[in-house]
Structure 1
Amino acid sequence: MALTPLRRTLLELLREPNSASRLARSLDVPRQRIGYHLKCLQEAGLIQAVGEVQRRGFAEKLYSTASSALVIDPQILGSAGRSEIEKQDRYASGHLIEAAARMVRDVSRMESAAAEEGSRLLTFTIETEIAFARPADIERYAADLADALHALASKYGRGKAGKRYSVVVGGHPAPAAAEEKNVN
């Protein structure tokens, strides 16, 4: 499903429950067009029906986003014009964003499936903050980390039978702390 500008606008407006006819009036778009896009968003699991309101003798469905926060997969927005080399560059911020979006998408889907089954999704998260004195240190650190990850993957079962896990390691500059931003 493509996330068109209209669908992005609808997602923004549906942070609060709203109906197709009210959305159509506020956006000056035909009600049928709004209904079509709401159906697509609902089928994708991005919005849900949250109730009904009586209007002029009939019940009008109210919709709202399925989550208070959404992470948009860059593939939905399109990545036309990017070369294969850029997609594979482990130091490109776009590659980090794509990997993080893929992880969010995969874990969200598996978490929903586990909840429907009444089971638990077993995951792990490891976070840290590190300081690099020089840009070249980042490359050396990434190489050392890749070697360590390869060794651990070999030790704990790469290619063996069992439940497979995807491990993603990424790094980005840490946001400045609030007190650092305010110091002049």
Structure 2
Amino acid sequence: MKSVDVVRGRERLRGGLTPLRRQVLEALREPGSAATLAPVLGETRQRINYHLRELEKAGLVELVEERPRRGFTERVVKATARAVLVEPDVVGDLQTATQDRFASDMLIAAAARTVTHVAEMRENAQAAGRRLVTFAIEADVAFETPADIERFANELADRIAELAKKYDTPAARRRFRVIAGGHPAPRPQETP
């Protein structure tokens, strides 16, 4: 099972991820069938079966086994990933984002393009039987003033430019895109 599946292409979202389909996917972290999910979700077996078929067509669930039951075949399926993201380009145009490095639209568009590009390259690598080499760096930093944020961003940009100049080999085959951004850190949720 993948950790994250990125839905690429409108055809995979044909029926959308309705609240019921999201509940079905959540329940299918462990294998299940329409017969086992219906009572848990308070729905009919027929309705759950319809949604399972649509999720299977979209590649979000996969068949685990078929079991003969009293007059029918029970299809046991499971979710193909622990989480599902929708590729941002499916419903929009990321090229219209502003170029102001302090604008939230710029950060969202850069993150969205990263999702799109990495998902496509991961699929291509898997199809070729290879591993996609990536790296990620994440840190929380507490700033005293807004001016500190700007100074930090400028310093970070300068250091990334220095490192890029130092390591960039134009003729090399292994080109990487490095993206750095910052946003307010979410507050930890308090446990009751």
Q: Same fold (TM over 0.5)?
A: yes
**What is the aligned partner in structure 2 of residue 84 from structure 1?**
96
CA shift, 1:35, in A, is 5.0
Q: Which amino acid aligns with 2:29?
A: R
Instruction: Write the distance in 1 (CA, Å) between the matches of 2:188 and 2:38.
Output: 43
**What is the aligned partner in structure 2 of residue 40 from structure 1?**
57
**What is the aligned partner in structure 1 of residue 140 from structure 2?**
129
**What is the aligned partner in structure 1 of residue 6 from structure 2?**
none
Given the alignment, which residue of 9, 20, 27 partners 1:13? 27
Higher strand share: 2
Q: State the percentage of identical aligned residues.
A: 40
- Work out whether residues 73 and 101 of structure 1, in 8 Å CA contact, stay in contact via their aligned partners in 2: no
CA shift, 1:133, in A, is 0.8
Instruction: Write the distance in 2 (CA, Å) between the matches of 1:94 and 1:52.
Output: 47
* Structure 1: stretches of 5+ with no match in the other structure: none
Instruction: Write the distance in 1 (CA, Å) between the matches of 2:95 and 2:118.
Output: 27
- Work out whether residues 14 and 63 of structure 1, in 8 Å CA contact, stay in contact via their aligned partners in 2: yes
TM-score, length of structure 1 as denominator length = 0.65
**What is the aligned partner in structure 2 of residue 147 from structure 1?**
158
Given the alignment, which residue of 55, 62, 65 partners 2:79? 65
* Structure 2: stretches of 5+ with no match in the other structure: 1-11
- Work out whether residues 65 and 77 of structure 2, in 8 Å CA contact, stay in contact via their aligned partners in 1: yes
Residues 48-100 of structure 1: CA deviation (Å, up to 9, x unaligned):
222223222443221111223x14236278469x9935x65544556545544
CA shift, 1:22, in A, is 5.8
Report the 3-state secondary structure (helix = DSSP H, G, I; strand = E; otherwise coil) of the residue aligned with 1:72: strand
Higher helix share: 1
Distance 1:117 1:137, change over 3 A: same
Choose between structure 1 and 2 for higher RCO, CA contacts under 8 A separated by at least 6 residues.
2
Q: Which amino acid aligns with 2:141?
A: I
- Work out whether residues 19 and 60 of structure 1, in 8 Å CA contact, stay in contact via their aligned partners in 2: yes
- Work out whether residues 56 and 62 of structure 2, in 8 Å CA contact, stay in contact via their aligned partners in 1: no
TM-score, length of structure 2 as denominator length = 0.63
Instruction: Write the distance in 2 (CA, Å) between the matches of 1:161 and 1:59.
Output: 55
The question of 1:55 aligning with 2:66 is answered: no
Instruction: Write the distance in 1 (CA, Å) between the matches of 2:48 and 2:156.
Output: 54
Distance 1:51 1:101, change over 3 A: farther
- Work out whether residues 88 and 116 of structure 2, in 8 Å CA contact, stay in contact via their aligned partners in 1: no
**What is the aligned partner in structure 2 of residue 75 from structure 1?**
88
Q: What's the Cα RMSD here? A: 3.9
Instruction: Write the distance in 2 (CA, Å) between the matches of 1:143 and 1:112.
Output: 35
Query: What is the count of residue pairs matched by the alignment?
Result: 174
Report the 3-state secondary structure (helix = DSSP H, G, I; strand = E; otherwise coil) of the residue aligned with 1:136: helix
- Following TM superposition, the consecutive aligned residue runs of length 4 or more in structure 1 with deviations greater than 6 angstroms are none
Report the 3-state secondary structure (helix = DSSP H, G, I; strand = E; otherwise coil) of the residue aligned with 2:81: coil
